[in-house]
Structure 1
Amino acid sequence: MLLTVARVGRPHGLRGEVALDVRTDVPQERLVVGARFVTEPAAAGPLEIAHVREAQGRWYVTFAQADDRTAAEGLRGVELLVDSDEDTDDDDDGWYPHELAGLRAEHVADGRPLGEVVGLEHLPAHDVLVLREPDGARTLVPFVEAIVPVVDVAGGRVVLDPPGGLLAADAANLVVSDETRGTGEEA
């Protein structure tokens, strides 16, 4: 299985350098001169790193196949991939999207089913689980320990402690409650 190491961002300068949106916990090991990556889309690669630097927490690379700004702009959005068989990271606190997809989501309080994890999205602030609720609603759940305290891949589940209103079912219950409460006034 192929895993995303980084996504190519905007060009930086005129000589083909690009910013990377890094998806690995070990960029200093993955992003080295001479590293070759298969790509998504496949037609964009393979790509080989010719130059790499890190500045203020951002990673920048130049690929041997793109030595000017125009060529670099053509790589924007391309994902750099590695074979997961090469990945020996045993991080207990990190999961790949393919490990999370299909896990059932349960409520922390009573274990009731909340839906199924159908994906993982990388947003600027933090990752989010894509949850398909029982009614089919698609909900983005912040993938932070306070809301997702348990990830049990072997057990096939994640446990959620969602704040009120996060899930579509919560919002539906609020509307029903407001409609049935009434105003208490007689006409």
Structure 2
Amino acid sequence: MVVGRIGRPHGVRGEVTVEVRTDDPDLRFVLGAVLRTDPVDRGPVTVTGRRWHRDVLLLQFEGPGGRVVDSREAAEEYRDTELHVPITDLPELDDPDAFYDHQLVGLSARLPDGTVLGEVTAVRHEGADLLVVRRVEDGELLIPFVAAIVPTVDLTVGVVVVDPPEGLLDL
């Protein structure tokens, strides 16, 4: 599961900015955490330092074989690298109405009457959570992932029910 993406270097000592893609960065980016990478030839990486600079997470890390990333040039080599944690390392969710993104991707999106809208291809976190649905005909829909619009998520059947307000599907 993707938990972040390395951005530009910060300073000259090997720190990098991280675009956080997890709701719990304090758990995912602890000192000593080993994260898989994509592309895979850049990792795994081990977190050796972390701090917040305003609203931006800054990380320091070691690359494969304990290679210390301690310069701006070395950090630049990791730009645009996605950071992953194995799905098996994720804790169980206590809230029955909470889901990991990987659980939602691939589900069939249907209207309450059973009409198929398409397939959930991604979940975007842009202030509000949005389901990205590839339509059966063509194009994509962005569906706000709130109980009023998505009243049912059935992982065993592989379906999300979308009850859109008037006009949402016309956008």
Q: TM-score, normalised by structure 2?
A: 0.80
Identity of aligned residues (%): 42
- Classify 1:54/1:94 alpha carbon distance in 2 versus 1 (closer, same or farther; 3 Å): farther
Select between 10-19 and 50-59 the one with higher mean Cα deviation.
50-59
d(CA) in 2 for partners of 1:137, 1:165: 16
| Among 96, 101, 116, the residue aligned to 1:97 | 101
Counterpart contact for 1:97–1:119, Cα < 8 Å: no
Single out whichever of 152-161 and 79-88 deviates more from structure 2.
152-161
Alignment: residue pair count: 165
Report the Cα distance in structure 2 between the residues aligned to 1:152 and 1:55, rounded to whole angstroms: 40
2:124 is aligned with 1:126 = no
Cα 1:138–1:19, aligned 2, differ >3 Å: closer, same or farther?
A: same
Question: Which of 53, 59, 62 lines up with 2:60 in the alignment?
Answer: 62
Task: From 103, 111, 115, give the equivalent of 1:113.
Answer: 115
Residue identity opposite 1:61 in structure 2? L
Looking at structure 2, the residues matched to 111 and 82 of structure 1 have their Cα atoms a distance apart, in angstroms, of 37
Q: Which runs of 5+ in 1 are unaligned?
A: 172-187
Alpha-carbon separation, structure 2, partners of 1:13 and 1:71: 12
- The corresponding residue for 1:179 is none
Which of 13, 16, 20 is 1:15 aligned to?
13
Change (3 A) 1:166 1:112: same
Q: Which residue of 1 aligns with 2:65?
A: none
Quick check: 1:147 aligned with 2:149?
yes
Per-residue deviation, residues 82-141 of structure 1 (Å, max 9, x unmatched) = 21112123143433333223322222xx42424232311435333432212232332222
Q: Give 1:61 deviation, angstroms.
A: 0.6
Choose the corresponding residue for 1:49, options 43, 47, 50: 47
RMSD value over aligned CA atoms?
2.3
Amino acid at match of 1:67: D
- For residue 24 of structure 1, what is the aligned residue in structure 2? 22
Q: What residue number does 1:177 align with?
A: none
For normalisation by structure 1, the TM-score amounts to 0.74
Gaps of 5+ in 2: 63-67
Given that residues 124 and 132 in structure 2 are in contact (C-alpha distance below 8 angstroms), is that contact kept between their aligned partners in structure 1?
no
Q: 1:76 to 1:145 in 2, by over 3 A?
A: farther
Computing the radius of gyration from Cα coordinates, the structure with the larger value is 1
**Equivalent position of 1:137 in the other structure:** 139
Structure 2 contact 110–159 (Cα < 8 Å) conserved = yes
Rounded to whole Å, the distance in 2 between the matches of 1:57 and 1:35 is 21
Instruction: Give the 5 Å matches for 1:152-171.
Output: 152-167=154-169, 170=170
